[in-house]
A and B are shown apart, each in its own frame.
Chain A
């Protein structure tokens, strides 16, 4: 039995008297498609910030493929394949999509510290970036500045930037936030088509999407994990129904 792709033990975080993470223990197997759900303020984004090192936990440990990474800086975790996207677009407005993804590829390949060679000398990085954009159907807009891209394309670019780092574990914070319902299914098709080598944990509010694309669901409330289980179990769980006030209907 190999170690899970990602695991946390007893993760704690409080802001003053507000507890935002309490005894969070999760275990993400290789190739998993997990959904993280919960009402607003449940601590979902905080948990992603803790796991990726953008927030330091007060207590607890984080393991990536069995190795403890609790003390590593965010960029060091990315180098090891733990990569996230952001709920609110966190992009490079005046870089083109291709430049942005090329930058991420260069960082992964260790080119980005080189200042004495021209960028076109790194055709392999540019080709790889192009490939990622093509796979996400962004190739036609690759040379346009990011701020000129349509909102849905910017959401895809969020994912493209993450993929450029060759993730082993991908944490998607509401990848379809702000995207119209009919387009969000398309976006999740992209996510579902990702390599099975990548373990994916995504935050999402639309229960139709959650039940369709997740093979397991974690429900967070008030900074703690309320329940974790297969979609059918979650759908039938009275506590979850209570939290969502009967809002957790699905087809």
Chain B
């Protein structure tokens, strides 16, 4: 798929924080991590129609894996990231066998159950995870042996952004592939899929595993850039937040989760500075307004205003190519 000008502008704009808001690079790195997590959810929810209320399970699992590797003496970021993402992928693959058998409300309950189960397991295994105090003693080595994870977040943001961009390229390739078309088929009509010879459960297992790898990578980035892991990484709140972010931004549009993460995180940073206890009041209001007035999310609303904004893989897409 050819890159649209707006996509190039978007990715160039992600470099602006270095120049314009150098005091907010820590926030920027958190946004990049959340965006990667939302992208992961978009692959299963936006493309394959798999609703999840427990996606933090894979984020948190990746987070704890990366944290523990560093705590146990291997603080090299890149290998830690790969191992943590792979570990989350294994967890995703194992759970995908349950996921692929259910849809709709049952699926929401099962993903919720998996999320709660893992959060409680981490809580009770405090000898391993540090429990409610969080995982302490995570010390990262310098990235490439050069860049230290400093207080200003320069390394954190560069690192998170680079990983986000690389995995975004993978996701972008995936949704424009024959497999991506099959996922949209599952989303559009799961009943018809077996009648055209499609092994939907196998497709679902595959995308769920890939999404778990991405979520695990996001979790690992958080552990490595903050040098701590808390139970919050596995919490229901995080699963719900990422769902809200994706719906706000626009599911099934690849950039929806990214845009949602930017809006949500910046708004939270600003609002909670003014009035922390009312933060969710405004998010609730925003969510209701978006669902009522922009059923396809903010990006969907923008796309309706300007056709140039439509993202490849969404509408008149790949199949129309010669």
The answer on a CB contact under 8 Å between A106 and B178 is yes
- Minimum CB distance partner of A144 in chain B: B316
Interface segment among A70-78, A174-182, A192-200: the answer is A70-78
The answer on a CB contact under 8 Å between B196 and A122 is no
The answer on a CB contact under 8 Å between A115 and B206 is yes
The answer on a CB contact under 8 Å between B180 and A115 is yes
Q: Does A154 contact B (CB under 8 A)?
A: no
Q: Count residues on chain B whose CB falls below 8 Å from chain A CBs.
A: 36
B197 neighbours in A (Cβ, 8 Å):
75, 78-79, 83, 104, 107-108, 165
Chain B residues numbered 263-322 whose CB sits less than 8 Å from any CB in chain A:
315-322
Contact of B192 among A111, A126, A143, A161 (CB under 8 A): A161
The A/B interface has a contact count, at CB < 8 Å, of: 135
A250 to chain B, nearest CB (A): 32
The answer on a CB contact under 8 Å between B318 and A118 is yes
Chain B residues numbered 243-273 whose CB sits less than 8 Å from any CB in chain A:
none
A198 to chain B, nearest CB (A): 16
The answer on a CB contact under 8 Å between A118 and B176 is yes
The answer on a CB contact under 8 Å between A126 and B196 is no
B250 to chain A, nearest CB (A): 14
The answer on a CB contact under 8 Å between A98 and B319 is yes
Contacts A112-B182, A113-B202 known; A119 to B177 CB distance under 8 Å? yes
Interface string of B184-199 (1 = CB under 8 A from A): 1100110111111111
Q: Does B174 contact A (CB under 8 A)?
A: yes
The answer on a CB contact under 8 Å between B316 and A114 is no
B194 neighbours in A (Cβ, 8 Å):
54, 73-75, 78
A56 to chain B, nearest CB (A): 14
Listed residue (A78, A106, A143, A164) with the most chain B CB atoms within 10 angstroms of its CB: A106
The answer on a CB contact under 8 Å between A103 and B316 is no
In the assembly, what is the distance between CA of A77 and CA of B193, in Å? 13
The answer on a CB contact under 8 Å between B188 and A112 is no
Interface segment among A23-31, A89-97, A206-214, A241-249: the answer is A89-97
- Minimum CB distance partner of A166 in chain B: B197
- Minimum CB distance partner of B191 in chain A: A90
The answer on a CB contact under 8 Å between A103 and B189 is no
B41 to chain A, nearest CB (A): 17
In the assembly, what is the distance between CA of A102 and CA of B197, in Å? 13
The answer on a CB contact under 8 Å between B195 and A112 is no
- Minimum CB distance partner of B210 in chain A: A115
Q: Does A202 contact B (CB under 8 A)?
A: no
Contact of A92 among B173, B178, B184 (CB under 8 A): B184
A151 to chain B, nearest CB (A): 17
Which A residues contact B (CB, under 8 angstroms)? 52, 54, 73-75, 78-79, 83-84, 86, 90-96, 98-100, 102-104, 106-108, 111-120, 122-123, 125-126, 129, 143, 145, 161-162, 164-165
Starting from the known contacts A91-B192, A104-B196, 16 additional A-B residue pairs (CB-CB under 8 Å) come to A75-B200, A93-B189, A94-B188, A96-B320, A98-B319, A106-B181, A107-B182, A107-B197, A112-B182, A113-B178, A116-B173, A118-B173, A118-B177, A118-B318, A119-B319, A143-B320
Q: 9 shortest A-B CB distances, which residue pairs?
A: A78-B197, A92-B188, A115-B179, A119-B318, A74-B194, A104-B196, A120-B321, A99-B319, A112-B182
